[in-house]
Chain A
């Protein structure tokens, strides 16, 4: 397709225009608010935007971004920033990106929240049945909190934590570029600490088996033996060699870790304290 490179550039340019400016300052203590469980199983919460509202929005852990409807954007007098490549709102009321001064649920408030202006069709469809819905609260908000979703008691709570979501555009663009480009280099999975054993896939290819345990290593101290079949490392399944490396890549040195092994037919729980090294 001849137009594709140009179109791709345009898309990247639009991505760049949409770069999410990082939100900042959390002004909140821990807090809980009611949630409304719609008959469809969706969660609606009451949200104040820029001190106005409340608005009724869907809490969606599957949405990386936060959306507000064009209706709300108008009510809040948000005008998308003007620019040479800024056509009028298009399909689904897509009005580009904005930064809300504040998004608050109960007593929890997040300043400078990036949001997209969009009449999301699913929100519109649900709204048509369950009453007006004004948007989606996604990862860009809830990831900044220890978020608890309590379906049974119909409560949700957001306690601030020290986490700032990354710019989703960067990740998506690099992924798209990589996918469209030529050969990619394989990612290397690096253990974070030194255990002192070697492993191989089992002969039946049904898991990972210890080959060798180095003398005076952390693994030797923990009681690993050659032939041990490692099944779970720190709650993570180790069905494959890569699984085991992925799990080990998360284990900091000098931290006790529980490992489950099958020795013959016996399940044994070992605690290992891997060391600084490689």
Chain B
């Protein structure tokens, strides 16, 4: 029993499913041969996450899962979009657009949240809410290239494959399918979800504050200002071209040395808008301290 929680966590992470009724093949808006560059991110539990809009609503987060037989969309999401599942659990989305431009029409989906997804969301394992899963009947419309050294996947539209998966029990022709383990897995999953349920969801991320100063190089061993944008927070603070920034103090923190422009950007990466930042600069050999309030909404 002791090992059950750990085991359950692993099971949760594998989003694979084996039960699904057959959806009919669906026509597609993307033309065969079309190539799409699909942005993705790796969430905390190391699943590949893409965003998609369903019937123009969203975007929602989906896991790329060749271990799932079909597209799964959470019941709450389908309800929000106004798609009702048929009694057999399948629903149809008129238009599914994947971030990066791939579009499929009349896509069949299982309207349900697999136990693993519910668990992952309850525990906040992914660090982001997951709304569903892209499985076989969606993925097999494409040749899919995944390269973690690239910020996007490459999907090439293909056509001609029969996209009707069968559940294990359907293709068993009366043979008994071992389901005892699956029942066990689902109860383990529920147990872990209850045990590790997230008390408070993480707060929404906030944009970094804006300064308005340029550097000619991030490799040089000094952070010398190459340009100050007129009217920017840096300009208002009195930062001048050719100032060498030697240290900065964020909020009430003690000052920290700045080695280079890259170092400055790294140190300032967590400065939220509205934060007061003090800069120690060398100007014509003199030490000057400048106080800047990080701006809102600038990039």
Contact = CB atoms under 8 A, between A and B. Distances in A.
A78 interface: no
Given A62-B68, A92-B181, A179-B199, A125 B47 contact: no
B64 interface: yes
B68 to A, nearest CB: 6
Contacts of A212: 231
Interface string B265-278: 10011111000000
A125 B44 contact: no
B34 interface: no
B207 interface: yes
B135 interface: yes
A219 to B, nearest CB: 8
Given A39-B166, A128-B172, A186-B206, A62 B16 contact: yes
A142 B146 contact: yes
B46 A166 contact: yes
Interface in B217-240: 217-218, 226-227, 229-232
B62 to A, nearest CB: 10
A147 B15 contact: no
Given A136-B67, A147-B147, A214 B299 contact: no
Contact of B18 (A40, A143, A165): A40
Contacts of A176: 123-125, 196
A178 to B, nearest CB: 7
Interface in B130-163: 133, 135-137, 139-140, 142-149, 151-152, 158-161
Nearest to A17: B6
B136 A41 contact: yes
B46 A276 contact: no
Contacts of A122: 14, 16-18, 67, 182, 185
Interface stretch (A23-31, A103-111, A195-203, A263-271): A195-203
Contacts of A34: none
Contacts of A82: none
Interface string A63-96: 1110100000000000000000001001110100
Nearest to B145: A148
B66 A62 contact: yes
Interface string A225-262: 00000000011110101101110101001000000000
B20 interface: yes
- Interface bin, chain B: 35 or more
Contacts of B47: 62, 64, 139
B188 A180 contact: no
A278 B264 contact: yes
A131 B17 CA distance: 17
Given A62-B133, A122-B16, A276-B217, A214 B230 contact: yes
Contacts of A211: 297
Nearest to B41: A246
A221 interface: no
A161 B202 CA distance: 33
Interface stretch (B76-84, B88-96, B105-113, B208-216): B208-216
A181 B196 CA distance: 11
Contacts of A236: 39, 99
Nearest to B141: A151
Contact of A179 (B1, B161, B198): B198
Contact of B66 (A18, A43, A120, A181): A43
A19 B145 CA distance: 29
A11 B196 CA distance: 11
A176 B195 CA distance: 10
Given A148-B143, A278-B265, A185 B203 contact: yes
Contacts of A100: none
B9 A189 contact: no
Contacts of B177: 125, 128-129
A188 B208 contact: yes
Contacts of A149: 66, 139, 143-146
B211 A278 contact: yes
A122 B9 CA distance: 15
Contacts of A253: 218
Interface in A33-70: 39-43, 58-65, 67
Nearest to A61: B66
23 contacts: A7-B5, A39-B165, A41-B135, A41-B136, A60-B14, A60-B16, A61-B64, A62-B15, A62-B16, A118-B7, A125-B178, A129-B177, A151-B142, A151-B143, A168-B45, A175-B123, A176-B124, A242-B205, A246-B205, A275-B214, A277-B212, A278-B264, A278-B268
Interface of B: 1-7, 9-11, 13-18, 20, 37-39, 44-48, 51, 59, 63-70, 99-101, 123-127, 133, 135-137, 139-140, 142-149, 151-152, 158-161, 165-169, 171-172, 175-182, 184-185, 188, 195-200, 202-208, 210-218, 226-227, 229-232, 261, 264-265, 268-272, 295-299
Given A91-B3, A276-B261, A278-B265, 15 more contacts: A40-B165, A41-B136, A87-B2, A90-B1, A121-B182, A121-B185, A128-B168, A142-B146, A168-B45, A179-B202, A184-B202, A189-B207, A190-B265, A212-B231, A277-B227
